[in-house]
Structure 1
C-alpha cells in the first residue's frame, strides 16, 4: 500500500530512510524537508566502520559503492601522550566528508523519485502532511518539540568541554593526542576524511578550559592557542573552526538525549532526534543510518502504522543498550583522565582501549590492567586448547591405530613361528 511520508531533516538518517522506502515501493510519496540550503552542511568528516558498510551494501549497493569510493580508510589506532607514541592494529575504519556523504545520499534519493525541499523550515503552523511524519532534525528537533511531553525527552549534560574542528593535517590512523598544559590536560581525537583534511575534536575539563582562557577567547585566538598546544602532533598544519554568530568559538558540553517514547501518533523519531551517544565512540552517523534501516524494515513487515512504529522502537532500543553503555563509560573515562594518564605508557594505552568497560571505574587501574592481561592470557590458552584439541585427538587416535596394527602383526608373527 502506498503511503505519504514527510521527513523533517535532510541529514544522513532522513535521506537514507527515503532511499530505502522508495526501493521497497516506488509508489510511496516521500518528501524530505531541510531548513538549510543544499550543500551548506558543516562538520568536516564522519567516521564509520566496516560493519556499517556491509549493511549499506546489503540494503542499497549503489549508494554503498559511492560512499566507499569517496572514503579514506585506516586499520590502526595511534595514541600520543606528550612525546610517547603507541600504534596498535585495530578494526577497519573509514572517514568521509559530511558534505560528500550528504551529496551522495541526496543524488541517490532524487534518482529514485524522492522530493527534496531545501531552505524549508518546519515551525509555527506549517506542519507537513503525511501518513507518517519522521523527525530526523537532530538533537534540537523542532518536530519533536511541537509535541511537548509526548515523547518524554530528557537531557543529561556532561562536565567536559569539547570543540569540533577541521585540520589540514591528514592523519594516517585514528589518532588520540594528549598534551599537558599548565592548567591541566587537553586532548583531541583525529581521523582523516579526505585527501587534504581530517576531523579534530578537542576536549578538556572545565578547569582547563577556563584556565587556558578558552572560555573567553574568540575563534581566532582559540585556534592559535590550540595550534601551539598541539604543534608536534599537527606538524605545523592549521586548525579550521566554525565560528558562532558572535565570533566566539562554539565550545559545548555534550548532552546525552533520551526519550521515553520514540513515536507519538504518526510522528516517529530518527537518529539524534531519538538518542545521542558520546562522540568518543564515533557511532553517531552509524546509529542514525541503522535507525533508518530498522524503520524501513518495520514499515515493510507491518501493515499497521502503530504496530510498525512499536516494532521499530523495540528493535532499536534493544540494539542500543550496549552502545549507550559503552558511550557512557567512555565519556566517564575522559572525565576522569587524571586517574589513568600517569600510568606507565603501555598500561595507559591499554586502558584507553578498555574505556568502555563498566568494571574499570570501580577497580584500581593497575589492578584492572593486570587482571585484563591475565584474562587475555587465559583466553589465548583457551583458543590454543580449542585449536590443539582436535589435532591432538587425531594424533593420539592415529598412534593408537598404528600401535594396535603393530601389536596385531607381532601376534600373527608369533603364531606363525
Structure 2
C-alpha cells in the first residue's frame, strides 16, 4: 500500500493538524498541572489524585458519550469538545495568576485545579469517540490502516513536543504563561476544524433507546475476541506501568535534573513511540499482530523496571525512550484492530469502551503509582508495576492461544478488495 495514501485527502491533513494541536495542548497542560501541583504539595499522592479526578468522570460518562457520538454529526460535536477544552484551559490560566496565589489560600487553588481536571475528564469522554468516528468519514475504508497509522503518529508527535515544551516553558516563562500558550493552541485547533465539512450520520438506528444502544455496543466488544484481547492487555499493562505520573518526583528528588530534565524525561517515551510509528508507515505491523502486541507489552514492562531502578539520568531517558518505542507498536496494532473490525454505526460506542479500557487506565495507573509510591516508596512502586506488566503478558499468552495467532492481513485484504 502507498505509505502516503491517507495524506492525499485534504480534509485528512486538516484533521491531522487539529489532532496535533489538541494533543500538544492537552499533554502540555497535564505536565504543567503535574509540576504545579507537586510544587505546591510535595506529596506523591497529589499526583495520583490528578489522574483520579480525570478518570472518574471519563469512565462514568464514557458509554453514554459513545451513544451520543453515534447519534450525532461528528464535526460539530468535535467543535463543542474543543470549545470545552479551551474553556478549561482559560480557567487554569486564570488560576495560575501570580497575583491570585498571593491573595488566595493554596488549598483553594488546588481544589479549583482538581475541579477543572474533573470537567476535563468529561470532555475527554466525548472527544476520543468523536475523533475515532470522524476519521472513518474522511477517508475510504481501504485506507483505514494507513490513516490509523498517521493519526497515531500525529498523536505521538504532539505527545513528544507537548511535554518537552512544557518542561522548558516552565523554566523559561513560568507556569502562568505556559498555560496561556496551551490556551492559544486550543483556539488554533478550533479554527482549523472549520476547514472540515460536516459529515453524514451513518447510523440506521437514530433515536434508539440509550440503554439498548449501550448493551449492543458492549455485546459487540465482548463478543469480538481480537478487540477484547487487545483492550484488556493494554489496560492492565498501562494500569500497572503508570510510572510516568511519578516523573516529577524522579526529576526533583531522585535524578535532580530540574524542570528542563523533567521535560526531557516526559518527552522520551513519546519520541520513541513517534520513531516507531513513522517507521511503521514503511514497515506495517499487521502480520502476526497478536505475537507482536504481546512482545511489545512485555518489552514495556522491562523498560519500566530498568527506569525504576536507574539513578542515571541518561539511562532513565534511554529506558523511557525504549518504553515509548514498544508502546508505539502496541498502539498501532490496537488502533488497526479497532478500525478494521468496528462497523461504522458502532464506532462511537466501541471507541468509548476503548477509552474506558485504555485511556482511563492511564489515569488509574497514575493513581495506583501515586498510592503505591506513598505506601512502599517511589522506586519500589515503579518496579512493582513493571513486574505486574510482565506477569500479565505471560498470563495472557498462556490462556489465549487464539490471540497469540491473531493476524490482520486477511482483514486488510478484504478492505482492499472492497
Higher relative contact order (CA 8 A, sep 6+): 2
Higher helix share: 2
Structure ID, larger Rg: 1
Q: Is the TM value for this pair above 0.5?
A: no
* Bin for the TM-score computed over the shorter chain: under 0.3
TM-score (norm 2): 0.26
Higher strand share: 1
TM-score (norm 1): 0.26
